[in-house]
């Protein structure tokens, strides 16, 4: 103490400044990479939104037939194919992000990109549900499958690494449900009377899952409270169809 | 499945095979429950640490001399509270390990900042030096991480305490608190010199680079810099009052803390 008579060890503020600079630089880098992800995300959404519309030529085909519905599905799947590469690009960007932030505590900066990963998960699970990747459609990617598709760990407890959080996955599911409610309505317009039934069953199963979660007052609660409106919307579509005997006989 | 609601409207949906996704959601439920429990424990501890730290600061404000050990009656009070704080930190330490240390940063931050304010105040009173980050970290047990943000923001609040300490001393002793000389022929520093040094250092921090989005540190620094300037100004004005009116000062006279502030602002408004 005799050596330095000042009150303040200059190293204190040098270190604080270094910390602020380091922080600013990382934020800059993260922001750049997220802008790239946003561009890719818009691309994906514009392709996936084709699921709600049908090529103009198809509108002349008579509706109500189950065969037409299946045919429609094929056409939609064809139209959605470009979504694959764009989702893959998003996944690539997310993994670049993961590499960039790997040396920082995960939760220190997680708030910067959590919305972006959530959107990418949403596009991925919606794409898979629509059958963009596999011939089979209507399937849900579990959080583990999302993790392996994106090559990002999930359910991380014991190490501090870049990963997908449960909240991000669940929020993506709430977005998916909203999208499917819209799709149920639009499928009817497209003459596909079977898909609303499939959506109804699927969304109810998800809703049942959400109902066992104990929510606190946070964004997840707000979003999951909204699920019931989507369920209702889908039920109304199914009701309208069944009232008019429009439900395909071989549907479950 | 004890907590499950049975308001699903389909007949075949009231058993455990209600949905193929149930096992996954049960995992989520356990995880979210644990998360909420941890979060609540930390919030509670942080609140208690804040309250105890405030009480320590109150006790320390009764100290009258710089660079001397804390008087035993005051030390007795503060030591029990330090002990309680240590226990609180130790209790929540398991919730703040590894990846979770930053996860609940927002929840623990309040307690950490107030604690830094208390220990840096005590450190200043005893040594007349600014507590370093490493010294502050060493006083937090159980491996709970003290972030740079909380350390810095705690130091900002320290300036408010130093202001109060300085002004109380002027009021009661009629002088600025001053440390003991470092060597022959030199005078000890007074608290105003120290406050100005802190102000200079804080003001030289550059928070302008990079994006501001979600940087709580930058936002808080900007806000607290203003308060810090006011604190230094109050002591400066009290020192001025002491010189100019010191001899006329009746016993027990306390300078009006708002006086200096108003004085500083008035010309801006009237001209």
- Asked if A105 and B102 come within 8 Å (Cβ–Cβ), the reply is yes
Alpha-carbon distances, residue A134 vs A52, A77, A125, A128 (angstroms): 19, 10, 12, 7
What the block records as the tokens of A207 is 């809703």
Please give the Cα distance from A34 to A30 (Å, whole number): 6
Please give the Cα distance from B140 to B151 (Å, whole number): 12
Q: Tell me whether residue A16 is in a domain.
A: no
Find out whether B178 and B128 touch, Cβ atoms under 8 Å: no
Please give the Cα distance from B60 to B54 (Å, whole number): 10
Give residue A238's domain range. 24-50+61-243
Sorted by sequence, the CB contacts under 8 Å of residue B125 that are 6+ apart come out as B60, B63, B66, B67, B68, B70, B165
pLDDT confidence tier of residue B179, bands split at 50, 70 and 90: confident
**Average pLDDT over chain B, rounded to whole?**
85
What are the respective helix, strand and coil percentages of chain A, to the nearest 5?
70, 0, 25
Residue A234, pLDDT score = 97
Which phi and psi (to 5°) does residue B147 adopt?
-80, 155
Q: Tell me whether residue A133 is in a domain.
A: yes
Give the residue from B2, B8, B21 with the most A CB atoms within 10 Å of its CB, the best one to mutate. B21
User: Does the structure show a pLDDT above 80 at B270?
Assistant: no
A159 contacts in chain B (CB < 8 Å): 98-99
Sorted by sequence, the CB contacts under 8 Å of residue A236 that are 6+ apart come out as none
Residue B212, pLDDT score = 59
Residue A246, pLDDT score = 86
Sequential DSSP letters for A171-226: HHHHHHHHHHHHHHHHHHHTT--SHHHHHHHHHHHHHHHHHTS---SSHHHHHHHT
**CATH code of A123's domain:** 1.20.58.2140
Residue A1, pLDDT score = 40
Q: Tell me whether residue A12 is in a domain.
A: no
The 10s digit of each residue's pLDDT in B64-73 is 999 999 999 9
Given CB atoms, is A17 within the 8 Å cutoff of chain B?
yes
The ipTM estimated for the assembled molecules is: 0.88
Q: Which of residues 100-159 of B touch A (CB under 8 A)?
A: 100-103, 105, 124, 127-130, 132-133, 148, 152
Find out whether B61 and B161 touch, Cβ atoms under 8 Å: yes
CA B226 to chain centre: 16
Query: Which residues are A164's β-sheet partners?
Result: A154
Q: Which of residues 162-181 of A touch B (CB under 8 A)?
A: 166, 170
Q: Tell me whether residue A250 is in a domain.
A: no
Which range, of A69-83, B1-15, B205-219, averages the lowest pLDDT?
A: B1-15
Residue B252, pLDDT score = 64
Please give the Cα distance from B16 to A248 (Å, whole number): 29
**Cβ–Cβ pairs < 8 A, chains A and B:** 150
A209 contacts in chain B (CB < 8 Å): 19, 21-22, 24-25, 28
Give 10-residue mean pLDDT values along chain A (252 residues). Answer: 65 92 91 96 91 56 55 73 92 96 94 96 94 85 96 90 96 97 92 91 96 91 95 96 83 48
Q: A87 vs chain B: nearest CA distance in angstroms?
A: 24
Residue A73, pLDDT score = 67
Candidates B18, B103, B132; nearest CB to A9? B132
Q: Tell me whether residue A71 is in a domain.
A: yes
Residue A57, pLDDT score = 37
The count of domains in chain A is: 1
Find out whether A171 and A118 touch, Cβ atoms under 8 Å: yes
The 10s digit of each residue's pLDDT in B105-161 is 999 999 999 999 999 999 999 999 999 999 999 999 999 999 999 999 999 999 999
Given CB atoms, is B227 within the 8 Å cutoff of chain A?
no
Please give the Cα distance from A121 to A115 (Å, whole number): 10
Q: Tell me whether residue A11 is in a domain.
A: no
Domains parsed from chain B with CATH numbers: 29-179+188-208+215-249 (1.20.58.2140)
Q: A97 vs chain B: nearest CA distance in angstroms?
A: 17
Q: B269 vs chain A: nearest CA distance in angstroms?
A: 35
């Amino acid at each position: 103490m005799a050596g330095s008579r000042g009150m303040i060890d200059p190293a204190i503020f040098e270190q604080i400044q270094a910390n602020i600079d380091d922080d600013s630089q990382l934020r800059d880098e993260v922001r750049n990479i997220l802008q790239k992800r946003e561009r890719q995300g818009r691309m994906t959404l514009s392709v996936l939104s084709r699921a709600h519309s049908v090529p103009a030529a198809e509108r002349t085909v008579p509706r109500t037939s189950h065969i037409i519905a299946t045919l429609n599905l094929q056409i939609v799947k064809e139209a959605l194919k470009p979504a694959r590469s764009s989702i893959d690009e998003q996944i690539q960007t997310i993994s670049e992000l993961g590499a960039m932030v790997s040396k920082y505590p995960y939760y220190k900066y997680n708030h910067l990109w959590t919305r972006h990963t959530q959107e990418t998960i949403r596009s991925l699970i919606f794409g898979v549900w629509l059958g963009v990747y596999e011939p089979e459609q209507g399937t849900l990617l579990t959080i583990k499958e999302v993790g392996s598709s994106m090559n990002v760990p999930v359910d991380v407890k014991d190490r501090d690494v870049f990963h997908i959080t449960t909240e991000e996955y669940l929020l993506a599911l709430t977005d998916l449900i909203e999208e499917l409610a819209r799709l149920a309505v639009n499928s009817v317009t497209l003459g596909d009377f079977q898909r609303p039934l499939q959506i109804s069953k699927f969304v109810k199963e998800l809703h049942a899952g959400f109902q066992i979660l104990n929510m606190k007052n946070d964004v997840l609660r707000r979003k999951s409270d909204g699920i019931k409106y989507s369920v209702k919307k889908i039920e109304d579509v199914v009701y309208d169809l069944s009232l008019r005997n429009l439900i395909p006989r071989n549907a479950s | 499945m004890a907590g499950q609601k049975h308001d699903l409207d389909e007949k075949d949906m009231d058993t455990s095979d209600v949905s193929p996704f149930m096992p996954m959601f049960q995992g989520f439920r356990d995880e979210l429950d644990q998360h909420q429990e941890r979060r609540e424990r930390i919030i509670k501890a942080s609140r208690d640490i804040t309250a105890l730290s405030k009480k320590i600061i109150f006790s320390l404000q009764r100290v009258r001399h710089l660079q001397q050990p804390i008087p035993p009656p005051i030390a007795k009070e503060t030591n029990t509270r330090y002990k309680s704080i240590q226990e609180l930190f130790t209790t929540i330490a398991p919730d703040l390990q590894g990846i979770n240390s930053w996860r609940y940063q927002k929840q623990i931050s309040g307690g950490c900042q107030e604690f830094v304010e208390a220990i840096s105040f005590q450190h200043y009173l005893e040594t007349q030096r600014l507590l370093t980050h490493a010294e502050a970290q060493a006083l937090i047990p159980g491996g709970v991480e003290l972030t740079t943000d909380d350390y810095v923001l705690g130091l900002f609040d320290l300036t408010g305490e130093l202001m109060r300490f300085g002004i109380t001393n002027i009021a009661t002793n009629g002088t600025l608190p001053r440390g003991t000389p470092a060597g022959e022929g030199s005078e000890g520093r007074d608290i105003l010199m120290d406050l100005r040094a802190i102000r200079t250092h804080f003001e030289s921090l550059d928070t302008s680079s990079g994006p501001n989005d979600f940087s709580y540190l930058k936002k808080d620094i900007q806000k607290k810099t203003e308060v810090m300037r006011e604190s230094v100004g109050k002591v400066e004005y009290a020192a001025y009052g002491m010189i100019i009116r010191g001899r006329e000062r009746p016993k027990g006279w306390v300078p009006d803390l708002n006086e200096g502030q108003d004085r500083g602002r008035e010309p801006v408004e009237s001209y």
